[in-house]
A and B are shown apart, each in its own frame.
Chain A
Amino acid sequence: MEKRNKTTLSGKHFLSGDLACAEGAIAAGCRFFGGYPITPATEIAERMARRLPEVDGVYIQMEDEIGSIAAVIGASYTGKKAMTATSGPGFSLMQENIGLAVMTEAPLVIVNIMRGGPSTGQPTMPGQQDVMQARWGSHGDYEIIAIAPSSVQEMFDLTIECFNLAETYRVPVLLLADEIIGHMWEKVEIPPREEITIINRKKPKAQPKEYKPFKPAKNLVPPMACFGEGYRFHATGLTHDEDGKPQTVSVEEQNKLVKRLCDKIRKNAEDIIKVEEVTLEDAEVAVIAYGITSRAALSAVRKARKKKIKAGLLRLITIWPFPGKLVAEIAGKVKAIIVPEMNYGQLVREVERAAKTTPVFLLSKLGEEPHRPAEIVSAIEEVLK
């Protein structure tokens, strides 16, 4: 059953979400993991600790999550694909350095297996409570990419996607899963290695002397020379010019940099965003969901259709950048939108903003159990009354 060589897995496997994430990272070419164990993300670290030495990679258990993300930024700058994995409290500790990764445009992947918060909350229980923190957790204006897997297969596939996006846009990319998905076991089909799309960061064509490390290409992303490749440059968390030199008082440089950091995501949003649409064409009610919640929503929409209710599902695979344009389009066609979330109302705000006058209903859930499909069916029936 299990065909395994030293580099990547292929074939049919029975894995947990956390393990599939680690295997996806290895397949994507990740060769550095800096982390600190935390439930429910520990299994990712465990698997990486075992697997990375087999592929000549490096695993370091750091002193805490602040050190972990710092080490990942450093590893990324040496040219390695690098990642960390954590959950709520660890994700909070990482926020300052996530800003540093944004500012220095370090391609890297952060996995957050969301558990119940705030604070240490409920370590072994699921949540979707870090959705807004993922977007706004570090200070200052920035844009980030966050992806929400809903199956073990997607923990594999979308981890690769995270690395590809990080390398393309030189930005930290978040895999925002939840405890259920992380600890859930399912069959995973891993394609042969040559069928997996792998994207690597663009290298500069300029001679070392002419190289400007933060001069963007057409897509607003600067080609990246890595330490040890013969290019000398300076990377800093301070506002900097295209040379990488600090520009701490220039209004012009502040505008230029902050806007470019945001625009390289905003202007490429249509290429980045992935969603799944289910029976939305003639829908009177749309359910908008992501992660584990989207599987209950899918079941609910199918059940509603069997009852001749015109319901549809918009499953957000990409949460950030938020597909506001698409949500606005759908809002224009339906009578109401339902947003089931395992929090007390987060992404629903973004939906409301896009939906304008179309009524949006939050279906909140906290604690151990996700929404039951029947609860979502009832909500669909209720809003159509």
Chain B
Amino acid sequence: MRTEIRFAGFGGQGIIRSGLITSMAACIYSDKNAVQTQSYGPESRGGSCKSEVVIADTQIDFPKVDDPDILIIMSQAAYHKYAGAVKNGTTILVDPDMVRDRSDPTNAKTYDIPATKIAQKLGKTIVANVIMLGALAALTNIVSRKAMKEAILQNIPKGTEELNAAAFRKGYDYGKQLLKIDNS
């Protein structure tokens, strides 16, 4: 079983870090194989940026995302580039405040996660990616909540544990809430 995940947005949003955390959650804090690759321009802030994660139970030959099962979109440019043609059943997480112009593919399941807005309410826009990771853990079963949280705590600066834990919880709860609505 091979799962392909693509995170896309712009430099500075923690896109690459998100991929790193997810793959670490899978291969260090769960017993799976994972590989993360990344792509960004020479400008480290503001340019388009993507991060790809492949998770599998067996050894991973091709390490790049070929046709994603899960898409996390955090910018308008990323939406235009990646959300158009997806395979049937793809799960898409979109930050709706970063993507105004959209027409969601009908063959995919799209969830709106207002990660940037929730992050602003927490006082730090920078944790928007952690909110997304919370929602990702809630909405998919790629890694457990515990594994994702442990990987986050391994990847953040000292002194920001509480903020990031809160962001993760908010994102996770938001995701679970959406699932409830789905199932009702």
Contact = CB atoms under 8 A, between A and B. Distances in A.
A187 B62 contact: no
Given A1-B28, A185-B20, A185-B36, A123 B61 contact: no
B42 A123 contact: yes
A186 B66 contact: no
Contacts of B27: 14, 186-187
Interface residues of B, number: 20
Interface residues of B: mostly helix, strand, loop or mixed?
mixed
Interface stretch (A61-69, A319-327, A344-352, A369-377): A369-377
B51 to A, nearest CB: 10
A186 B40 contact: no
A295 B38 contact: no
A185 B66 contact: no
Nearest to B25: A14
Contacts of B20: 185
Interface string B64-100: 1010000000000000000000000000000000000
Contacts of A298: 61-62
Given A123-B42, A124-B39, A124-B41, A370 B24 contact: no
B61 A183 contact: no
A180 interface: yes
A39 interface: yes
B139 interface: no
A interface, how many residues as a size bin? 20 to 34
A28 interface: no
Interface in B6-36: 20, 23-24, 27-28, 33-36
A302 interface: yes
Contacts of A1: 28
A295 B28 contact: no
B110 interface: no
Nearest to A292: B63
Interface string A23-63: 00000000000000001000000000000000000000000
- Residue of B34, B39, B40 most packed against chain A (CB within 10 A): B39
Contacts of A190: none
A368 B63 contact: no
A1 B150 CA distance: 12
- Residue of B23, B24, B35, B37 most packed against chain A (CB within 10 A): B37
Given A1-B28, A123-B42, A298-B61, A184 B35 contact: yes
Interface of A: 1, 12, 14, 39, 123-125, 152, 180, 183-187, 292, 295-296, 298-299, 302, 368-370, 372-374
24 contacts: A1-B28, A14-B23, A123-B42, A124-B39, A124-B41, A124-B42, A180-B37, A180-B63, A183-B38, A184-B36, A184-B38, A185-B36, A185-B37, A186-B34, A186-B35, A187-B34, A295-B63, A298-B61, A298-B62, A299-B62, A302-B61, A368-B39, A369-B64, A373-B61
Interface of B: 20, 23-24, 27-28, 33-42, 61-64, 66
